[in-house]
Chain A
Amino acid sequence: MTGSLVVTDLRVEFDGFVAVGGVSFDAHPGEVRFLIGPNGAGKTTCIDAITGLSKGSGSVKLGDQELLGKSVNRIVRQGVGRTFQTASVFEQLSVVQNLDIAAGLHRSSLSLLRARRGIDPAIESALEETGLSMERETPAGILSHGQKQWLEIGMMLVQEPRALLLDEPVAGMSQDERTATGELLQRIAQRRIVLVVEHDMDFMRRYASRVTVLHQGKVLSEGAVAQVQADPKVQEVYLGTAGAATTTAMLAVADTTTAVTDAATQGEGA
C-alpha cells in the first residue's frame, strides 16, 4: 500500500525573500486534501518545492523516501505527478499521443525506437476515466480548457503515481466541468494521495476531506472544512477584520479573489 505524503518544516527562499517559511502538513491516500490561502500565501511554491522545481529545505517524504533535493524527473519516477495552473499539454500531438508519452515513463530506451502499435490498456482506462474517449485522435491544442485539464490528469493517471498534486485544476471551468472534475478527483483519491491547490471556495467545500490554510508562507489553520471556516484567524485573513465575519461574506470575497487571479493567470499565460 502507498504511504503518505509528509511535509515537515518546508522552507523556500528566493534571494532572501521567504516564500514558504516552515510549513508542515500531510496527505494520505483516501482523502482529497486541499491547500488554500490568499494570493502569495505560498501554495504553488509548496508544490513547486515538493516536485523539485524550486529548491527548498526541511523534509518532504513520500512513504519513507525523501523527495527534497532530487531532480524533477527523478521525483516523477518516485511516483509524484503534478498539473499546472495553465494546462500544459503537447498541443501538436493527439490526445492518445499525449497519454502515450506520459505512459512511456517506465519503458526501456530501446523500445522507444519502435513505432506505437495499438493503445495500452492503461491509456484506454485513463481515456474512460477522464471522459476523453471520443477525443482520442483530436490534437490536444484544440481541446476545450476543461478537457485539457482532464487530459493532464489523465497523463498523470497513466503514470500510476502514488501522489497527484493539482494546481488550481478547476480555474476557468464551467459549473458542470467543476462537478465532473471534483467527482473524478474523489474517485482517484480512493487509492492515491490527492493534493489540490485551489482558490475556489465552493469547490473546496464540496470536495475537500481536509484543508490546510496557508497565509504568508505559514500554516494558518488546518482541519475539516467546517472547522477551518469557523476559524476566526482564517476569517480575518480573508476579510481583513476579525470577529464580524460571516462565512457567507468570506466566501463572497474569496470568489472575487478567484475571478481576479483567474484573469491574472490567463493574462500571464505562463
Chain B
Amino acid sequence: MTRLKPWLPLIGIGVFAVLLLVVAPAVLSMHWINNLGKYCCWAIAAVGIGLAWGRGGMLVLGQGVFFGLGAYAMAMHLTLETAGPDSLPVFMILYDPTAPLPAFWEPFRSDTFTLVAIVLLPVIVASILGYALFKRRVKGAYFAILTQALAVALAVLISSTIRETGGDTGLSDFKYFFGFVLDDDVNKIMVFMIAAALLIACLLVVWQLNRSRYGELLLATRDAEERVRFLGYDPANIKLVAFVVAAVMASIAGAMFVPIVGIITPAEIGAPASILMIAGVALGGRASLFGPALGAMAIGWGQSSLGSSWPSGWIYILGLVFILVTLFLPMGLSSLLGRVKSMVWRSRATPTAPVVASAPVLEEVRR
C-alpha cells in the first residue's frame, strides 16, 4: 500500500483522462460536450491557480489577464482566418472599410506565430510583472489587489479600443479553426478533445512539480519565506516559476475557450471572471491536485445550468457555498476526503514501528 501511495494521483489522472477522452464523447450530447469543453478551459486555469495560490501562497486574483492574452491571441487568429487572406475582419470593415489592418494583428495570420504567442506572451508578461513584484517583496493583499487591478485594466483597455479589438462586443463568429470547419460536429469533438488533453497535461505538470524538490521548496517558501532566504535561496525566483507556469496555463485555457465557446469579450477576463476562477479553486481545495480542476468544473456547471435557469438565485447559492466552505473547510472540499483518509491512515499506522521509506512523499498539506 505504501509503495502504491505515491502513484495514486497518477492513477487518478489516468481515470480522469479516460472519463474525459473516452467516456464523455461516447455518452454526452453535442450540447454537453461543448459545455464540458468550456469547463475544461476553466479547469486548466484553475490547475495553474492551484499551483500559484495553493502551493505558492500567491493569491492570483487577476488570472483573467493571462486568460485574456491567450484568448485574444487565438481569437485574432481565428477572426483573420475566417476573414480570409488579405482581407479585414468584418467588424473593422463596419467602422472603416479603407483603414489598414492594425500592425499588431498582422502576425496573427500565421498559425505558428499564434501558437507560439499563446505560450510566450504570458511567459514574457508574467516574468516581467512577477520579477518586479517578487523582488520588491510585494505579497499578500497588495499582490492580490495589484493583479486584480491589472485584470480590470486589460478589460477596460479592450472595451475602449473598439476599432482594434472589437470592444465590448468582443470577437466572435469564427468559422475555421486551423483549417477545420468549426460548425462540423466531428471537429467540435476534436476541439473538446484537445482541451481535455491539455487539462490532463497540465495536471501531469503540476503533479510532477508538486512531488519534485521544487514543490517542497515552493511549499517552504509559502510557509516561511524569510527562512528560505536564510538557506541561500532567492524566494523571488521560486515564486516566479510558479507564477509563470500558472500564467501559461491560464493563457492556454483562454486560447481553447475561444473555439469552444465561439466568442470572447472583456467580460470573460475582467474582475468578476477572475474571481470566479479563484472561487472554483477555493471550493475544490487549493492545495490539492484535483481540487482546483474539479472545483472549477463544478462552478462552471452551476453557472451554465442553474445560472441560466435561475440566474438571480444562482449568485446567492454560489455566495452561500463559498461562505460555508470558507468557514468549515478552509482547504476546500478535497480536504474532506483527506481528513477522513488521514484519520484511517493514522489509526492503522500507529502500532507499527516507523518505516524508513526510500522516497517519502509529500503529504497533502493543510494549514
How many residues in A have their beta carbons less than 8 Å from beta carbons of B? Answer: 36
Q: In whole Å, how far is B366's beta carbon from the nearest beta carbon of chain A?
A: 8
Partner of A93, one of B209, B219, B230: B219
Which residues does chain B contribute within 8 Å of A155, judged by CB atoms? Answer: 231
Q: When A90-B223, A94-B360 are in contact, do A105 and B231 touch as well, CB less than 8 Å? A: yes
Q: In whole Å, how far is B330's beta carbon from the nearest beta carbon of chain A?
A: 15
Once the chains bind, are B231 and A76 in contact (CB under 8 Å)?
A: yes
A96 within 8 A of partner (CB): yes
Which residues does chain A contribute within 8 Å of B355, judged by CB atoms? Answer: 137
- Interface size class on chain B is 20 to 34
Which residues does chain B contribute within 8 Å of A82, judged by CB atoms? Answer: 230
Once the chains bind, are A137 and B357 in contact (CB under 8 Å)?
A: yes
Which residues does chain A contribute within 8 Å of B358, judged by CB atoms? Answer: 117-118
Which residues does chain B contribute within 8 Å of A137, judged by CB atoms? Answer: 354-357, 360
Which residues does chain B contribute within 8 Å of A91, judged by CB atoms? Answer: 223
Interface residues, chain B, with chain A CB atoms under 8 Å away: 208-209, 211-214, 216-217, 219-220, 223-224, 226-234, 354-360, 362, 365, 367
Q: In the bound complex, what is the Cα–Cα distance between A90 and B216 (angstroms)? A: 10
Partner of B213, one of A72, A81, A90, A107: A107
Q: In the bound complex, what is the Cα–Cα distance between A116 and B208 (angstroms)? A: 11
Q: When A88-B224, A92-B365, A96-B360 are in contact, do A76 and B230 touch as well, CB less than 8 Å? A: yes
In the assembled complex, 22 residue pairs joining A and B whose CB atoms fall closer than 8 Å, in A order, are A76-B231, A88-B224, A90-B220, A92-B365, A92-B367, A93-B216, A100-B213, A101-B213, A101-B216, A101-B220, A105-B232, A107-B213, A111-B213, A112-B212, A112-B213, A112-B217, A113-B208, A113-B214, A116-B212, A116-B359, A136-B356, A137-B357
Q: When A101-B217, A112-B212, A117-B358 are in contact, do A90 and B227 touch as well, CB less than 8 Å? A: yes
Q: In the bound complex, what is the Cα–Cα distance between A100 and B362 (angstroms)? A: 13
Once the chains bind, are A73 and B229 in contact (CB under 8 Å)?
A: yes
Which residues does chain A contribute within 8 Å of B232, judged by CB atoms? Answer: 73, 76-77, 105, 159
Docked complex: A65-103 residues within 8 A CB-CB of B: 71-73, 76-77, 81-82, 88-94, 96-97, 100-102
A58 within 8 A of partner (CB): no
Once the chains bind, are B212 and A114 in contact (CB under 8 Å)?
A: yes
Q: In the bound complex, what is the Cα–Cα distance between A113 and B214 (angstroms)? A: 6
Look across to chain B and name the residue whose beta carbon is closest to the beta carbon of A111.
B213
Q: In the bound complex, what is the Cα–Cα distance between A89 and B230 (angstroms)? A: 11
A258 within 8 A of partner (CB): no
Q: In whole Å, how far is B67's beta carbon from the nearest beta carbon of chain A?
A: 25
Once the chains bind, are A101 and B231 in contact (CB under 8 Å)?
A: yes
Which residues does chain A contribute within 8 Å of B233, judged by CB atoms? Answer: 73, 105
